[in-house]
Amino acid sequence: MEINRDKNRRFISVWMTNEEQELYGRKQLTARLLKNVDDPKCKVIFFLSGKGDLFENTEGLWLANLAKV
């Protein structure tokens, strides 16, 4: 798990693997992270690993984006 805080843009980003998603509840993790933040407008953003193959999914996104150019 990787947790980063951007004070200027008022958010905390959390990167989680599939295994971590099973171990930690996002609702409880959000509450714990915001408990130590002074800014009431701070948000928590989760980036979650997917179930598919990373290479195939990335290739598909590139091809779809190139088709729009």
pLDDT averaged per 10 residues, the chain (length 69): 93 94 94 91 93 86 89
pLDDT score for 15: 96
pLDDT score for 63: 92
pLDDT score for 36: 86
Label residues 37-46 b or e (16+ Cβ within 10 Å = b).
eeeeebebee
pLDDT score for 14: 97
pLDDT score for 66: 93
pLDDT score for 12: 96
